[in-house]
Structure 1
Amino acid sequence: GGGGAQAANDLLKSRGLKAQFVLDEGLLVVADNPLTGGPAALIGVAEKGYATLIVSAPADGGHSSAPPPQTGVGVLAKAVSEITDHPFPMSLEGPGADMLRTLGADAPLPLKAALANTWATEPLILRQMAATPAGAALLHTTIAPTMLQGSAKENVLPREAKAWINYRIAPGDTSEDVLARAKDAVGDLPVEFAWSRPPVEPSAVSSTESDGWKVIAALAADVTGAPVAPGLVTAGTDSRFLAEVAQDTYRFQPITLSMSETTMIHGVDERMTLENLDRMVRFYARLMATAAR
């Protein structure tokens, strides 16, 4: 939950120390990257923000045998539908787009040409990225209703219906943008909004020109044998708590997984191969030796 990282940040800050960079988990080497058809080492230079919006529809309640024309559940359903039907637009901007452009150099010729001429091909590229949830998530703020609450009994109308909508906020957007977009989407529907907890804004985007990047990228390429590209972490890491004491923050683990193998992360049969373990040991040992010079 970040308690340890926050404590480390506070201690380093109290000592007046500033790190050249922070390196955390986040991205890895995808053995069968869809863009190149081969391996690609992705280093996260930013991560999305996190916010959950509670949408509430107050109502009179009562018995389900005599429902009013408009129930709390009905209003809430309309509100959630309107919010999800007004997604944040996708665009070829930010770390997700930088990843596409960087890997485009190693992509098949048609894709390479498309990524080199985005002024004409952007609509086509966005349609291709939108074809998968993971691809779309790289290029915009996502909206995901995850929890619902209504009546405790099937024959009772609730006095209040609630939905929890989870947002992963892309760099360039803010929690204020999220709330404004939700309010605009529902129009005059009688609903109320509240954050489940204070939102976490997107991280800053770290440099791909710094000495820290050059060290990490060079070692990643050498240890994994894969081309390196910046990327966007769509989940959250503890590195966000250390931003105050670092010039840049990078998110990368030198392990290689296929696209299908990534589904085991935090899932069924999560495991580490001996080959990946060896690769991690060599990478981190060389990183500490190199960065300390």
Structure 2
Amino acid sequence: MRIYLTDEDGAGEPVKSKRTSNWGKIAVLVTLGISVLEPGVFKSQPAESCPVGETIRPLSFYEDRSSTDEILFNYAWRNKSLEIFTGAVKISTVVQDDMPDPNTHPEAWSNFTRFHNHLEKSFPLVHSRLRLEKVNVFGLLYTWEGSDPNLKPLLLTAHQDVVPVLEPTLKDWKYPPFSGHFDGERIWGRGSSDDKSLLIADLAAVEKLLSEGFQPKRTIVLSFGFDEERGGEFGAKSLAGVLNERYGEDSFYALVDEGVGTVEIVDDRAITVVAIGEKGSINLEISLTTPGGHSSVPPPHTNIGLVSKLISYIEDHPFKASLGPGNPVLYYLQCLAEHTNVFDEQLKKHIFKAGYDTKSNAEVVKYLSEDPVTSSSVKTTQAIDIINGGIKSNALPEFVSFVINHRINVESSVNETIEQVLSDIKVLSKEYNLGILLNDEEILPKTENGYFVLNAGEGLEPAKVSPREGEVWTKFSGSIKHIVEDYIHPDLEKPSVVAGTLMTGNTDTRYYWPLTDNIYRFMFSTTELVKTHIHSVNEYTTLDDHLFIQLFVYEFIQSVNE
């Protein structure tokens, strides 16, 4: 498809859809592993096949598609969308990990007031006709009441905040990180991809529907947190609490939040990925306390030396790779195997049998483990990210600590992760006669040589995998197919496929789990997410992708009301 970009003077150069059959690129979106059970067999049945599915278009599209065409092709709409989106990127809604409570220190969040003013100015109908509640000062909760209270509401979520920009990296940015620069194709800046594109698109879609006199039967709720990048404790957690109290558990039709949504062309077929789950996560802090002394009379291994040995042991003994039935990654692989030729015939057979045959499962795990990216999809990962210790060159260090970030396999758990790390510590403790505390619990008694402390916080369990069948999935995936087949790649003869996979990162959806099982982490992207430099230097998205998200939300809201 060719879409003409616009600048202040009108149309720019046309952009052609990019195609690739490189499995390595798609593999970036494969993100999880699950455990094998008894030898030769799994307790679950083989994963279901990957049906092409129905393309769902709202009745209004059949009657008159000029309104949908306007979102992509009308110069005035495109330029207005560009103005609003770049204006949002220009407002630095950065959050740090140590942000204070917004109730007692609202001044630390003052840029969010500027951001709210920008939204109010940009979307006047939304702010005059929907009910807006500000939850915990800066959380935004919009409610568009439907005419039928018997229908479960639709929940659209996003977050207002962005990660910081490190000052030493400013020189490496192609354009200033809060300039919202548009080069005729791409919008550059922190938050352009994560996550202001989705938030602005949600509001733009609702604004357009309001302007056309649309009245939903099903209530539409928009919930925008303001500290997702630091865990969502102030924002989404408070917003979800309000919704849970107001509507109750299992009260929403579906939730659509940020996530993967890359559209790739593989063997002349468009494959769109949707995250239907997330890995769990936990940060484990390990410290070692040992006697001090003068560095002129050192022991065989100083505190730092012992900690280094432990770190090496932990990295040399990673979590085992595994892949089991029901795993979204296996489902994704089976979609590729069924609808493309990226795998040879033997590997295809193994992929189809991997859900119930241990030999085939082992072959698929072996295949995924050969690549560092896909390897992370079949095991709990561990990354030593922080280390502190030592205060003076001639003083033996008495206290050293380090932090391990884990992304937890869906069929594993926080407790299993802690147990493996604790087991690793025991190996070193026994060899060097050191005690161990797990939080405040004594595992091995302290000794004159010292002791380890493993501090384990609450952690986040892996998310429940969302359904990939049934009425909600059919309408959701069918709406995606509609945008892909009618607008992004209308030139392809083969019907597109929507394939579920799993995110390695985490989102605000954790707080909304009780509200619905139908949680889909999705936003259209015709560019690989890793190439948009999320959380990195030169973050960007394209204007077309932003408009594709608008178009999807606009059509999906109508479809769920029919």
TM-score normalised according to structure 2 size: 0.49
1:222 aligns with 2:482: yes
Can you list the C-alpha shifts for 1:237-280, whole angstroms capped at 9, x where unaligned?
A: 01111111123211111222137624x12222222212212211
Determine if contact 1:98/1:231 at 8 Å carries over to the other structure.
yes
**Once the 2 structures are TM-superposed, how far is the Cα of residue 10 of structure 1 from its aligned partner?**
1.2
Give the structure 2 partner of residue 83 of structure 1.
Answer: 314
Q: 1:102 aligns with which of 300, 312, 335?
A: 335
Q: 1:205 aligns with which of 465, 477, 493?
A: 465
**Once the 2 structures are TM-superposed, how far is the Cα of residue 164 of structure 1 from its aligned partner?**
0.5
Aligned AA (2:331): D
Determine if contact 2:273/2:500 at 8 Å carries over to the other structure.
yes
Bigger drift between 244-253 and 227-236 goes to 244-253
Give the structure 1 partner of residue 505 of structure 2.
Answer: 235
Q: Cα–Cα, structure 1 residues 249 and 259, in superposed 2: closer, same or farther, change >3 Å? A: closer
1:275 aligns with 2:544: yes
- Residue segments in structure 2 that go unaligned for 5+ positions in a row: 1-227, 435-451, 486-495
Give the structure 2 partner of residue 285 of structure 1.
Answer: 554
Q: Cα–Cα, structure 1 residues 259 and 16, in superposed 2: closer, same or farther, change >3 Å? A: closer
1:56 aligns with 2:326: no
Q: Cα–Cα, structure 1 residues 37 and 186, in superposed 2: closer, same or farther, change >3 Å? A: farther
Bigger drift between 121-130 and 79-88 goes to 121-130
Q: 1:138 aligns with which of 372, 377, 389?
A: 377
**Once the 2 structures are TM-superposed, how far is the Cα of residue 107 of structure 1 from its aligned partner?**
3.0
Q: Cα–Cα, structure 1 residues 286 and 80, in superposed 2: closer, same or farther, change >3 Å? A: same
Q: Cα–Cα, structure 1 residues 247 and 260, in superposed 2: closer, same or farther, change >3 Å? A: closer
Higher relative contact order (CA 8 A, sep 6+): 1
Give the structure 2 partner of residue 27 of structure 1.
Answer: 260
Distance 1:271 1:117 in 2: 40
Aligned AA (2:466): S
Distance 1:38 1:209 in 2: 21
Give the structure 2 partner of residue 113 of structure 1.
Answer: 349
Provide the alpha-carbon RMSD of the alignment.
Answer: 2.1
Distance 2:237 2:535 in 1: 23
Distance 1:32 1:218 in 2: 18
Give the structure 1 partner of residue 521 of structure 2.
Answer: 251
Distance 1:63 1:30 in 2: 61
**Once the 2 structures are TM-superposed, how far is the Cα of residue 87 of structure 1 from its aligned partner?**
1.7
Tell me the SS of whatever aligns to 1:27.
Answer: coil
Aligned AA (1:217): S
Determine if contact 1:31/1:259 at 8 Å carries over to the other structure.
no
TM-score normalised according to structure 1 size: 0.90
Q: Cα–Cα, structure 1 residues 174 and 26, in superposed 2: closer, same or farther, change >3 Å? A: same
**Once the 2 structures are TM-superposed, how far is the Cα of residue 68 of structure 1 from its aligned partner?**
0.9
Distance 1:269 1:242 in 2: 31
Give the structure 2 partner of residue 147 of structure 1.
Answer: 386
**Once the 2 structures are TM-superposed, how far is the Cα of residue 86 of structure 1 from its aligned partner?**
2.1
Q: Cα–Cα, structure 1 residues 192 and 275, in superposed 2: closer, same or farther, change >3 Å? A: same
Can you list the C-alpha shifts for 1:182-205, whole angstroms capped at 9, x where unaligned?
A: 12123342322112x421111111
Give the structure 1 partner of residue 406 of structure 2.
Answer: 167
Can you list the C-alpha shifts for 1:201-259, whole angstroms capped at 9, x where unaligned?
A: 11111111232222221112221244211111100101111111123211111222137
Determine if contact 2:322/2:365 at 8 Å carries over to the other structure.
yes
Determine if contact 1:106/1:112 at 8 Å carries over to the other structure.
no
Aligned AA (1:273): T
Determine if contact 1:22/1:250 at 8 Å carries over to the other structure.
yes
1:41 aligns with 2:290: no
**Once the 2 structures are TM-superposed, how far is the Cα of residue 38 of structure 1 from its aligned partner?**
6.5
Q: Cα–Cα, structure 1 residues 259 and 282, in superposed 2: closer, same or farther, change >3 Å? A: closer
Give the structure 2 partner of residue 266 of structure 1.
Answer: 535
Q: Cα–Cα, structure 1 residues 10 and 30, in superposed 2: closer, same or farther, change >3 Å? A: same
Can you list the C-alpha shifts for 1:79-123, whole angstroms capped at 9, x where unaligned?
A: 222222222221222222221122221231514334224334433
Aligned AA (1:244): P
- Residue segments in structure 1 that go unaligned for 5+ positions in a row: none
Determine if contact 2:467/2:517 at 8 Å carries over to the other structure.
no
Q: Cα–Cα, structure 1 residues 260 and 171, in superposed 2: closer, same or farther, change >3 Å? A: closer
Give the structure 2 partner of residue 5 of structure 1.
Answer: 236
Determine if contact 2:330/2:351 at 8 Å carries over to the other structure.
no
Q: 2:424 aligns with which of 182, 185, 191?
A: 185
Tell me the SS of whatever aligns to 2:255.
Answer: strand
Determine if contact 2:274/2:520 at 8 Å carries over to the other structure.
yes
Distance 1:41 1:55 in 2: 41
Q: Cα–Cα, structure 1 residues 87 and 39, in superposed 2: closer, same or farther, change >3 Å? A: farther
Aligned AA (2:420): R
Give the structure 2 partner of residue 194 of structure 1.
Answer: 455
Distance 2:265 2:518 in 1: 28
Q: Cα–Cα, structure 1 residues 173 and 145, in superposed 2: closer, same or farther, change >3 Å? A: same
Q: Cα–Cα, structure 1 residues 101 and 154, in superposed 2: closer, same or farther, change >3 Å? A: farther
Distance 1:236 1:27 in 2: 12
